[in-house]
A and B are shown apart, each in its own frame.
Chain A
Amino acid sequence: MTSENAPAPGSEITLRVNGKPHTLYVDHRRVLLDLLREDLGLTGAKKGCDHGQCGACTVLVGGRRLNSCLLLAVTLDGAEVTTVEGLGGDGEEPHPLQRAFLDRDAFQCGYCTPGQLCSAVGMLAEAAAGHPSHVTDPAAPSGRPVPLDRPEIRERMSGNLCRCGAYPGIVEAVEDVIR
């Protein structure tokens, strides 16, 4: 799609998105967010700022949560990407966190929601792997799973802005899935 009229330098890359391989010719200026939205039609990842300031574009790359608006697609040859569309896997059933977001009304307009969901999935893995946050007790033993109380959840979810102010529901939804 990009290749026909591409004036700017580009390269061919292959990456897997939600389990499916894609080989594309990408403009070197293209970021992962635009690759997902424009090339693959996966518009679940949202563009809130395009500058790494809001988290709306958060997706999982190799299981880590990242702002896809800051990732040049050409650097992602061979990467494994999961977007909100892929969180539930192949099944009809949504991911437990998606269910919890519905139960807790953890969104209003829904624009930040895909980013919140991907971020929460990534965050749970980080805590399980023992990554400390700004509010983790410095005396806590390192490398062990960090228990997620409300301050931990709030702190770790602070890279995802929600102008509708759905934060209380988001925290409750995350609590629902760790119980």
Chain B
Amino acid sequence: MPHTDTALGAPAERLEGRQKVTGAARYAAEYPLPGRAHAWPVPAAVARGRVAEVDTSAARALPGVLAVLTPGDAPRLAEPEDATLAVLQEPRVPHRGWCVALVVAETPETARAAARLVRVRYDSEPYDVELTEDHPDAHEPDVANAGLPGRVEHGDPEGAFAAAPTRVDVAYRVPPLHNHPMEPHATTAHWDDDRLTVYTSSQGGTTARSVLAQMFELPEDHVTVVSEHVGGGFGSKGTPRPDLVLAAMAALRTARPVTLAYPRRYLPTVVGHRAPTLHRLRLGAAPDGRLTAVVHEVTTHTSRVKEFVEQAAVPARVMYATPNLRTVHRVVALDVPSPSWMRAPGESPGMYALESAVDELAEALGMDPIRLRIRNEPVHEPGTGKPFSSRHLVQCLREGARRFGWDERDPRPRSRREGPWLLGTGVAAATYPSSAVPATATARALPDGTFTVRINATDIGTGARTVLAQIAADTLGTALDRVRTEIGHSDLPPAWLAGGSTGTASWGWAVHDACADLAARLAAHTGPLPAEGLDAHADTAGKADAEVPYARHAFGAHFAEVAVDTVTGETRVRRLLGVFAAGHILNPRTARSQFTGGMIMGLGMALTESSTLDPAFGDFTECDLASYHVPANADVPAVEAHWIEEDDTHLNPMGAKGIGEIGIVGTAAAIGNAVHHATGVRCRELPLTPDRILAGLPAAG
């Protein structure tokens, strides 16, 4: 461990790194409790209807099968707030893939074989899984995801747009996308009398505990949730998913510890997905580029189980100054799996559409797209009128342009050629909100001169364990190697989940406060410490969630260089460069990984990732990793992330903004804009696959 004068801002190595590279780190399915059994789900084979009958006789006759849980006989649970967790509680099938039975057996092989023998008879009903702009069931929700208003508007957007000298009126489409963390959702559950312990792959153990306590009607202190290491989540493990409830039910029924590791190909239907979004963007501008009207209208789908509205029109409330603004969402409930959070929900698809349309406007105006953005830099947040706590988008664009070599660019499309390849570059902006939620933490000083920080935070790969130790070390004025962080266990002081890029701000705040209090106590203490050490506790309720008169967001600029094969239509990204302004960067090593990791997921969104709801059978057709194309190493070129240090005193004691999501936000638009620059083809539907590009290229190539 490197000793540094200040731990914050140092590129500290991940504290659990050694465990991860030696295979010692344990994930949820890897707790070999004595007598552990394995569960396997049976997914619904119809898109809508009811389970009329489940014949489990053949499955139960298989030696080694311990139980088959069905909607008719599974333990009755209290109704959860999140209806996607009400599994095996009633015969209704709200979408294909919904769990209709669960087999528990001695081995995973037997559980899988028995699941195939479960015979389910359905009363099926007509269904609809197709999202269209003019769907008759579309309605305008009051509230979109994250509690944001469905509609925000001011001025006279229609009139101003109609009167604008330069207009862009375009439609963009983003397909359903899947999170696919490399660790499938898994839970190992174990009952000891009326006490339940689960090892679960979750972004937030505190929520998992309260959900289990509520559904199984247990006092919270009878439920223990362990999420020591989590193999990624990207939103899909934000709140509990059915694996948690199913494993606990299976363990209850069989009186055995049970592991349910959800099979990969069943994940898309039960863990949430990024909902498809259909965008209509209207931008009106004066000849000098000043926006006179911004209209962003989004249509998306949700399931019949619960309403989730991908808030894709929200970034237009943040980005550009305009006297006339309309941002509105429409949602259609269909017979589809329930959508949920996927890395930068709202911003990711919304900024793809908005930043592509801005590029189109720049072309229509004959103006450099960076200049156009700078011209429309707002003084106050357009949607709320609040001042920004800090906003360095312009600096990100300029710094990125300098590093990328933007000034050498010939703005004309199809101006660079290399054999069969057309080359192009593109730019797009990024934004993501910076917020915090209350959390609690304790810090303890031990007589041997070391410290322990305890908080039920989760490290899903972000480096939370490490950065919290850094915050503690600095606040205590000690070296990083004297601090131990305990996270990922519900016996620890409660904290909110890893989501919305709030982790470091929220948990770090509580850790900071606990350590500051402890430092004060130590200063006042005389003589040796008692054997059990000295404790301090912090709760940031009322602080972290206090109303502030500022709009708080991180910003960034993305640059991409692509080569498009005129023969095959294939796009290869050659370079990606991002510059971000996200407050103080607390650990440059892990921060860089988060930024570049987000950018690589954005590359997938731009070029390879796509899912389809097939109207013929009512489910996703790309449900495994062979058909849903996550970027592979060979798809990923030189990826660079840089940042501008910001001193923002309106955030939290660390002055940090969340960085887990902004990396994905502008990437797809930058790549799409680069493809247009290379080829002259404006493809308005993701992903930019060869068939779509080729269709736009002139036959001669």
Which residues of A approach B to under 8 Å, CB–CB? 2, 5-8, 27, 29-30, 34, 37-38, 41-51, 53-54, 56, 83-85, 87-88, 94, 98, 101-103, 105, 107-114, 117, 151, 153-155, 157-171
Contact = CB atoms under 8 A, between A and B. Distances in A.
B481 interface: no
A58 B229 CA distance: 20
A87 B21 CA distance: 10
Given A94-B21, A109-B232, A109-B461, A41 B32 contact: yes
Nearest to B16: A110
A85 B19 CA distance: 10
Interface stretch (B84-92, B148-156, B513-521, B588-596): B588-596
B593 A166 contact: yes
B107 A27 contact: yes
Contact of A7 (B20, B64, B599): B64
B367 interface: no
25 contacts: A8-B113, A37-B30, A38-B32, A44-B22, A44-B23, A54-B182, A105-B14, A105-B589, A105-B592, A107-B21, A109-B182, A114-B23, A154-B633, A163-B180, A163-B181, A163-B182, A164-B232, A164-B593, A165-B597, A165-B598, A165-B600, A165-B631, A167-B639, A168-B638, A169-B593
A110 B625 contact: no
Contacts of B110: 7-8
Contacts of A107: 17, 20-21, 461
Interface of B: 13-14, 16-27, 29-30, 32, 62-64, 106-110, 113, 179-184, 229-232, 234, 261, 263-265, 460-463, 589-590, 592-594, 596-601, 624-626, 630-636, 638-639
A42 B23 contact: yes
Contacts of A51: 264-265, 624-626
A53 B624 contact: yes
A117 to B, nearest CB: 7
A87 to B, nearest CB: 8
Contact of B22 (A98, A112, A162): A98
Given A51-B626, A54-B182, A30 B109 contact: yes
A50 B462 CA distance: 26
Counting from the closest, the 8 A-B pairs by CB-CB distance are A44-B23, A7-B63, A111-B231, A109-B461, A165-B600, A110-B20, A108-B461, A165-B597
B593 A161 contact: no
A171 B633 CA distance: 8
Given A47-B261, A160-B633, A111 B22 contact: no
Contacts of A98: 21-22
A160 B634 CA distance: 10
A43 B25 CA distance: 9
A24 to B, nearest CB: 13
Contact of A167 (B19, B30, B106, B636): B636
A112 B633 CA distance: 12
Query: A-side binding surface: helix, strand, loop or mixed?
Result: loop
Contacts of B592: 105
Nearest to B628: A53
Contacts of A56: 182
A159 B633 CA distance: 8
Contacts of B27: 43, 46, 111
A117 B113 CA distance: 32
A165 B601 contact: yes
Given A27-B109, A111-B182, 16 more contacts: A7-B110, A27-B107, A83-B23, A94-B21, A98-B21, A98-B22, A103-B13, A108-B593, A111-B181, A114-B23, A117-B21, A160-B633, A163-B179, A167-B636, A168-B638, A168-B639
A155 B637 CA distance: 11
B13 A102 contact: yes
A109 B181 contact: yes
A143 B25 CA distance: 39
B639 A45 contact: no
Given A48-B182, A109-B230, A168 B64 contact: no
A29 B633 contact: no
Contacts of B17: 101-102, 107
Among A29, A107, A162, max chain B CB count under 10 A is at: A162
A113 B108 contact: no
Contacts of A165: 596-601, 631, 636
B26 A43 contact: yes
B502 to A, nearest CB: 18
Nearest to A43: B30
Nearest to A52: B626
A168 B640 CA distance: 9
B232 A111 contact: yes
A164 B399 CA distance: 26
A154 B637 CA distance: 9
Contact of B264 (A27, A30, A49, A167): A49
A46 B263 contact: no
Given A109-B232, A154-B633, A169-B593, A164 B461 contact: yes
A109 B64 CA distance: 34
A85 B22 contact: yes
A153 to B, nearest CB: 8
Nearest to A151: B634
Nearest to B182: A111
A50 B634 contact: no
Among A27, A105, A158, max chain B CB count under 10 A is at: A105
A89 B256 CA distance: 36
A51 B62 CA distance: 24
Contacts of A109: 181-183, 229-232, 460-461
Contacts of B632: 158-159, 161
Nearest to B664: A165
Given A2-B107, A43-B26, A108-B232, A48 B183 contact: yes
B231 A5 contact: no
Contacts of A162: 182, 633
B461 A110 contact: yes
Among B107, B230, B596, max chain A CB count under 10 A is at: B107
B264 A48 contact: yes
A111 B179 CA distance: 15
Contacts of A88: 22
Among A48, A98, A163, max chain B CB count under 10 A is at: A163
Contacts of A170: 633
